[in-house]
Structure 1
């Protein structure tokens, strides 16, 4: 149990789970009563078979997906594009040019935090491009979250908790985020909070669910967006192919008569390489690394591993290793550790089906499927963000030796300091957002 706790504390638990799975096989022990699996079929069975219960790791929430979500996201994405265009464009190619470093990780966090707060609570926590206390509080809280576990009991203790635990009246750090969230809860808008109320949540329980929705809903999607963009930036072949597909969609009129607005879901689903890039990014670097353990039924259970039954005893919990499962050579091939979107054009339909089934487990399965999946897919699988960023801009890392800083805090990968330089894709530098399509000769001018 000590090695498990140490790796959680240091933020390296996902790598430790991966190593344990590589060494001991598809079902391995990580604690006295804790197992993990790297087998997609076993994990799917655990998440659907009656008798398995969520362990104490879990917090419950209610489902909500409003009809205005897509329109809301389009408006926020246009705000982000405008912010980049007006404040962060670099001009390195001219004699009087300049480079304006932009922290891509922070800008993506602004977007996802605003989306989840607007969808979840009816009002965003401020404009997506402006600095504000809730975002700074979210960053600081996330970085320290794993370490705070050591003081969790003290925070709950009657005598010490009131002095140690963050409070909604605090003016900084996590307490400031709590305060911003709780004030919106008290306004009782018609949104996800209304859904929570209909499911009989109230008072502190309602505020707790809203706060968890805000944190989990922004960090996970932001992590996926950052990772995929950085992986594409690091692979010239993928970068060029993706922009060629984006340019073709604009040139042939699929964006409308004048190319204005944000790409629609219907058009985005017709861009196979973009879909492959997103699926591959979620596979090779899953943004959520929680082991998500389930309690095995009291009488135990038999699961099939590579065609052979394996007995799981009652009284233990069984989680999974995200890295080991999504980089399984038996499913994805010998180059499973590499970022290669072309693997999703596999001609063998049986193999492709197995890959897709395993990949879909990124969002959980069965009763334990991610409750924010619809919102995440709006941001990811609608592919709007990727399409628009690669449509209008080129990016290059400012420091290739240190493209980002990452830390695993309780299974959520926090990514910071993704410094990039952004240039317009217009050869003349005069093309404006929403003023028509780019010229046909626009190609990638930067490669990492």
Structure 2
């Protein structure tokens, strides 16, 4: 009897053995994290986790889990989600041995076999890359950074003034969500490449970049939901899935354009000794041409979406809270009147806008109520496991466990923000008398941009852009929401918000 025949005769026995091994492994996996409670079935299968991403509402699904099951909830066989600020600070601390989880962070890879600072899971390489790139995000090596932001904030104001202002005789609604995207993309492309895409001046999505990124984000959400990021983005299969640089529009065209700009820069100035932007700084600190391409694409995608979402959420809460709106506009007008803010058409300086307490209370509260991204930023527990303190209790985390950050839950935590944590009240940032509690609140705000050794390098730029834009929008126009019943249409795709039809009306104010 041949081997094939033997195997055929024993097929049911072999199937039973395989099934038995699978069951044993599943039971072992379940028992590793049996002390952590979560939604039904999460100890055995990834189904709940996957459906959370499919729901376009994953941020609320994760919050519901931590609300019900505590500061550490189980959301998968090897996945935990936490709202513990002390645990998150510990995980992201400079001296810990937690590492990034490959299955999550691979969504930041845009080219086969070439990681970005976001997708790189090797801690030594990641630390080195951060050091190489830090100077490009600071004003020290990019002296034109603030003036570049000012140019595009002024363009936004001018676009609204000349094309979209409403009057007593004509209402002219427009989508503020789109305009904030144009601003964010022009800012980040200008400071990154030395030349903007030109979305604001053309008042359109130049080359279809935004539309294509939306499609790509949806695809990434499916990969996360099915647990296929490793297969699709960590293997040669990515060569088949990648967008062609021969495309005339969208992500492929943007990649080709990025490569063209970088090639031209290197051809004209091989050492990039004349440049004063991010590209020049990164090149001088050791990034090669292909690394410049991938990191430039990353900062376009990450920097633009987070800043745009922050600006539109801050504006939504301002427009729907008249008391807060009036107080902020009074602070803005006072800064203009006493000369702290330069007269129109100048844009408020970063130094001035950072010293306006109510402006930043409104910005922080808007981002708290509606965080710009809700990615869980999962980290892997060191192989030997870790014992931590959570709300006064000792908790053991088995080695190899993935543990993520429940963004929505932490930012609505009543233990930190009070009984009215679900409501918009900027004064909480100004009136808190307990220094320890205020420090906790600010720590939660910092975590929106990553924390510790994983903090977003673009945070200072984002905050500068956000503060300047909100100030100038409030200085130059009076605002109202067009559709009070449904001010915008929004979905959470993977971890990034897509906002459409944020229709507003702006009427011109007399400015000085």
| TM class by smaller structure | 0.7 to 0.9
**Matching of residues 423-438 of structure 1 within 5 Å:** 423-426=507-510, 437=512
Q: Which residue of 2 aligns with 1:36?
A: 81
CA positional deviation for 1:331: 0.3
1:349 aligns with 2:414: no
**How many Å separate the matches in 2 of 1:75 and 1:141?**
25
- Is the 1:133–1:177 contact (alpha carbons within 8 Å) kept by the matching residues of 2? no
Partner secondary structure for residue 80 of structure 2: strand
**How many Å separate the matches in 1 of 2:83 and 2:305?**
24
1:85 aligns with 2:161: yes
Q: Which residue of 2 aligns with 1:417?
A: 501
CA positional deviation for 1:144: 4.8
Q: Which residue of 2 aligns with 1:387?
A: 471
CA positional deviation for 1:292: 0.3
Looking at secondary structure, tell me which structure has more helix per residue.
2
1:209 aligns with 2:264: no
Question: Residue 261 of structure 2: which of 158, 175, 184 is its match?
Answer: 184
Bigger Cα Rg: 2
Larger relative contact order (CA 8 Å, sep ≥ 6): 1
Structure 1 residues without counterparts, runs of 5 or longer: 427-435, 438-448
Question: Residue 69 of structure 1: which of 125, 132, 145 is its match?
Answer: 145
Query: Deviations along 1:287-335, whole A, 9 cap, x unmatched?
Result: 0100001111111111211122211110111111000011100000011
**How many Å separate the matches in 2 of 1:198 and 1:32?**
45
TM-score (norm 1): 0.88
CA positional deviation for 1:6: 2.1
Instruction: Give the number of equivalent residue pairs.
Output: 420
Query: Deviations along 1:166-201, whole A, 9 cap, x unmatched?
Result: 211112333233233332232336332233334544
CA positional deviation for 1:158: 6.2
Question: Residue 464 of structure 2: which of 355, 358, 378 is its match?
Answer: 378
**Matching of residues 37-436 of structure 1 within 5 Å:** 37-48=82-93, 49-56=95-102, 57-58=104-105, 59-60=116-117, 62-63=133-134, 64-65=136-137, 66-91=142-167, 93=168, 97-132=169-204, 134=206, 136-148=208-220, 149-150=222-223, 153=231, 161-162=239-240, 164-188=241-265, 190=275, 191-256=277-342, 258=343, 261-345=346-430, 346-380=432-466, 383-426=467-510
Query: Deviations along 1:10-30, whole A, 9 cap, x unmatched?
Result: 322111111111111111111
- Is the 2:99–2:381 contact (alpha carbons within 8 Å) kept by the matching residues of 1? yes
Partner secondary structure for residue 91 of structure 2: helix
**How many Å separate the matches in 2 of 1:353 and 1:123?**
39
Are residues 187 and 417 of structure 1, via their aligned partners in 2, closer, same or farther at CA, if it must alter by over 3 Å?
farther
- Is the 1:406–1:414 contact (alpha carbons within 8 Å) kept by the matching residues of 2? yes
**How many Å separate the matches in 1 of 2:489 and 2:264?**
37
Question: Residue 69 of structure 2: which of 24, 31, 34 is its match?
Answer: 24
Please give the root-mean-square deviation of Cα atoms over the aligned residues, in Å: 2.2
**How many Å separate the matches in 2 of 1:364 and 1:38?**
14
